[in-house]
Amino acid sequence: MKNKTVREISRFLDPYRITDGRKFRLKDHDPGDTAGLDSEDKPEAKRMLASGVERMAELQERLYASDEWGLLLVFQAMDAAGKDGTIKHVLSGVNPQGCQVHSFKQPSPEELDHDFLWRTQRAAPERGRIGIFNRSYYEEVLVVRVHPQILAGQHLPPRLVGKKVWDQRLEDIAGYERYLARNGFAILKFFLNVSKKEQKRRFLERLDAPEKHWKFSTSDVRERAHWKGYMQAYEEAIRGTASEHAPWFVVPADQKWFTRLVVAAAIVETLEGLDLAFPKVPDSKREELALARAALEKE
């Protein structure tokens, strides 16, 4: 039976979970959706989030101790969608020793001299740990697809760069995720679906607050001109790589409090489904523990 916390928050997941992308259309997903909750429900949503974070910490301890499964969380979004804040709030209770966060920026010359999955594969989590990718290998079918001139700097043989390059990369990504799943790594992918209107509001908020100026880049505004291209690229990426073993969650991101609740629900439900348990201590070890107790009690 599911833990009470899991039952409580899992009900928010189904509208946003994509396991078969063949009929997926991004326009069918409202960035402002809150599953019927409104501003008056925010305190209750925060309570559920806190409960989910607490349960996540318990499950993460079992994940670490058992050292069998690993969990990879992939976060993708347009700028100002709330990736950093979501990671901060949702994973606030996780033991840092069992968590690895990687933010992927522009590839280095060394990374460009390898295949496009190389740099992220090097950062993949170990068994027993939660790996968090703030952006990921999906950038290779998102920003590179929107700005194909980037592809010219990746040193690929010209005859390998044709009309099918994006479909081929999506096939490679799907194959890589299948490979990870077959090796004991659960994969959750989150597209924080923010509206163009809400992104503008958040950009202006950053410009109005001096303490947030460090978050703003003029390139963020330039990228808004490619919004349609990005939405098409995201739709194609989700269509091509959504699966039962590596689902996408198209999470409404206009309301941060709801975004965080959905992400937490997905993580807790997945960890719960792994049937995690602390390792059983063999009889020989129990005897050692008994001797250790006896020695301590004699002091």
> How far, rounded to the nearest angstrom, does the alpha carbon of residue 254 sit from its chain's CA centroid?
17
CA dist 275 → 1, 3, 59, 62, 282 (Å): 11, 11, 9, 9, 20
- What's the CA gap between 257 and 272, in Å, rounded? 23
**pLDDT one-digit tens code per residue, 112-170:** 999 999 999 999 999 999 999 999 999 999 999 999 999 988 989 999 999 899 999 99
Locate 53 and state its tokens.
Answer: 């974070």
**pLDDT one-digit tens code per residue, 158-170:** 999 998 999 999 9
- What's the CA gap between 70 and 128, in Å, rounded? 5
- What's the CA gap between 213 and 210, in Å, rounded? 5
- What's the CA gap between 198 and 43, in Å, rounded? 22
Q: What is the pLDDT of residue 4?
A: 65
- What's the CA gap between 48 and 254, in Å, rounded? 19
Helices (H), 147-282: 165-182, 196-208, 218-224, 227-241, 256-273
Domain boundaries, the chain: 4-298
Locate 64 and state its tokens.
Answer: 């670490």
Q: What is the pLDDT of residue 1?
A: 45
CB 176 within 8 A of CB 66: no
Other beta carbons less than 10 A from residue 87's beta carbon: 20
CB 72 within 8 A of CB 131: yes
Question: Any bridge partners for residue 71, and if so which?
Answer: 130, 186
CB 95 within 8 A of CB 64: yes
Other beta carbons less than 10 A from residue 226's beta carbon: 15
pLDDT in tens, the chain (299 residues): 456 666 777 888 999 999 999 999 999 999 999 999 988 889 999 999 999 999 999 999 999 999 999 999 999 999 999 999 999 999 989 999 899 999 999 999 999 999 999 999 999 999 999 999 999 999 999 999 999 999 988 989 999 999 899 999 999 999 999 999 999 999 999 999 999 999 999 999 999 888 878 877 888 889 999 999 999 999 999 999 999 999 999 999 999 999 999 999 999 999 999 999 998 877 777 888 888 888 889 88
The SS3 of residue 142 is coil
Query: What's the pTM value of the predicted model, to 2 decimals?
Result: 0.93
Q: Give exposure, 175-197, as e/b (b: 16+ Cβ within 10 Å).
A: ebbeebbeeebbbbbbbbbbbee
- What's the CA gap between 296 and 299, in Å, rounded? 6
Domain 4-298 has CATH 3.30.70.520: no
- What's the CA gap between 187 and 171, in Å, rounded? 16
Q: Which of 93, 97, 102 is nearest to 67 (CA)?
A: 97
The length of the chain in residues reads: 299
Q: What is the pLDDT of residue 72?
A: 98
DSSP state of 29: S
Q: What is the pLDDT of residue 14?
A: 92
